[in-house]
Structure 1
């Protein structure tokens, strides 16, 4: 009698891993960042902000001058040139605060991998305001696709707020994991709020192995240059798992790939109240991507369908969306009608997909359920 009972408990444990339950409204109070009281201005360390001088060492010296308890590094208005192969490396309990008229620009390089701002193995970090500009227009090389504006790796309680990020050789933002002292550490509780990521070469933002990532009130637009060219790509591949992600009230527009793209090893992905318009690919594409909620979004004028779960995607809920005038690579961008697949498509091997209460180009499908 004991053996069946043990098997039952094992089955329950496996089901819990497959579809983890998140704490209600986890994104509202988190992350709570604890920033130190110290305050330094980069000008006092020799930064000039004249658009010519290499200000990397001066900005890093300002960061390194903070006590162990951290503090705020302020970058006044100006144009600061940065060697992104060295990066501005932020520490725990630190705020990098940029004047709205402050710009950090990458000094042109041939490197296929760089990061302008690095948050690695840190806790309680904020990057607020200003403009980050990559070197894609003046990049000296032709290979690689990993030039990042902000790289958040193996860190927790991180906020990126009101930053404009553009023209990077790779992604505007990367959030992911790394082995730290032989322990695989995922980023946890990362909030991206009010960010505009434009004209980056590979992605507006990529999410690798991470959890509790909240992307809100932000814009990801005009990604172009090297595939996948998505607004946001959630793709941990075999590096680990990605779960408990919420994308809310964002705009995905004019990307050469998909508005949002998702792949395997993910769960508990909520796509809520966003706008996807004018992307050349799908508004939302999932390739063998499980446990996804797509609700209350507006997807119009995308080159392919508004939503497509494909591969072995399963356990999706697609409810309460407006999916109209999509598949513009094949159909009129403004005319009503067409088949359901104009706005909503399913791969042959998907299963457990719930569909209800959506509005489509052809009104006869508005009562469609699955």
Structure 2
């Protein structure tokens, strides 16, 4: 039967079976967010104090001073405190966080990448460590001052290398040459109340890992090099993404999709995505000015299955509202409000075995 019909204009092109479910996906409970992490020690080191001596004056290279403070606290369960100010960072070497620590940035603290020409850089790197909290502040890329023309790997925060038990709360990443945030091959990761704004490639990329929560966050104004998504879950060959919850977030005015979930066709059988829940988010105004030759949508899934898309508001995107294409199966799409998108409200293309029910569609366009 056809499901999800309410007010006209949706033009829902799919064959639907069953009904939506609010339970776990594939029997797997969504991970739990850690939005209020606490240090395990009362130790606090201020980066401006001796012997660290960071300046935060917007002109000094503070990389060594900041790293010295991080190294002093690592493993103690204590906190590195970064007062308000602009701290210039050599993103070619990165700030490397250690296990068992909290990096706490004042709301007026900015870690600013020193302009460079590199294809690949990272302001703040969390690699192969555990039990790390990153709280507040801004990671400022250098896309407007970047002196190179190639590459797309200039990142604000990169969580990688088997890192685990990582909480990122209230952090802004903007103006990066690549992604604001990247998670790859990490587990038990929370991004809560983060903001990604005007990054060049993605707001957030998830290419590998398990137990990842993205909650109450905002991803906006991504654009400059493909895919240009607010959030992209896209493993590379040999990688798996498993058990992800995206909830309470806003994806707006990205040149690509608001959210994209997919395995590249070339990696079929070599890369995998399991149990993604996209619940209670807003995707609006995405797809304008995209470098892609095809339409970009509020949410696009491809070559994957076994996910849940529910209770979302999907409106005024240039392409489709919700687009399931090229081998999406076993996915539930239910109780979404899909309005005023440029093409179909919900389109299922070369996909089957999905449950699409109880959605409200109105004012959506029709593909040519």
TM-score normalized by the length of structure 2? 0.84
1:54·1:80 contact (CA, 8 Å) conserved in 2?
Answer: yes
Q: Could you say what secondary structure the match of 1:65 adopts? A: helix
Which of 144, 165, 177 is the equivalent residue of 2:173?
A: 165
Q: CA deviation at 1:267?
A: 1.1
Q: Does 1:189 align with 2:188?
A: yes
Q: How does 1:329-368 map to 2 (within 5 A)?
A: 342-348=344-350, 350-361=351-362
Q: Note if contact 2:210-2:243 (Cα within 8 Å) is conserved in structure 1.
A: yes
Deviation of the 1:351 alpha carbon:
1.5
Counterpart mapping for 1:167-246 below 5 A: 167-177=175-185, 187-246=186-245
Task: Note the C-alpha offset of 1:69.
Answer: 2.5
**For 2:34 and 2:169, how far apart are their aligned partners in 1?**
16
Q: What does residue 53 of structure 2 align with? A: 46
Matches within 5 A, 1:173-322: 173-177=181-185, 187-264=186-263, 265-280=272-287, 281-322=296-337
CA RMSD in angstroms, aligned pairs only = 1.7
Note if contact 2:31-2:245 (Cα within 8 Å) is conserved in structure 1: no
Cα contact 1:74–1:97 (8 A) shared by 2: yes
Q: Which residue of 2 aligns with 1:21?
A: 27
In 2, distance between residues paired with 1:144 and 1:67?
32
CA separation of 1:262 and 1:31: change in aligned 2, threshold 3 A: farther
Partner of 1:149: 156
Give me the whole-angstrom Cα distance separating, in 1, the residues matched to 2:80 and 2:253.
Answer: 34
How far did 1:127 drift? Answer: 0.7
Are the aligned partners of 1:78 and 1:101 in contact in 2 as well (CA < 8 Å)? yes
**Aligned-residue offset at 1:132:** 1.1
Matched residue count: 321
Give the whole-Å Cα distance in 2 for the aligned partners of 1:28 and 1:200: 25
Q: More relative contact order in 1 or in 2 (CA 8 Å, sep 6+)?
A: 2
Q: Find the aligned partners of 1:228 and 1:67 in 2 and give their Cα distance.
A: 36
How many angstroms apart in 2 are the aligned matches of 1:235 and 1:147?
A: 18
CA distance in 1, matches of 2:177, 2:154: 5
* Structure 2 SS opposite 1:315: coil
Offset at residue 208 of structure 1 (A): 1.0
Contact 2:178 2:199 in 1 (8 A): yes
Q: 1:203 to 1:28 in 2, by over 3 A?
A: closer
- Partner of 1:109, secondary structure, is coil
Equivalent residue, structure 2, for 1:131: 138
User: Structure 1 unaligned runs (5+)?
Assistant: 1-18, 178-186, 328-340, 364-370
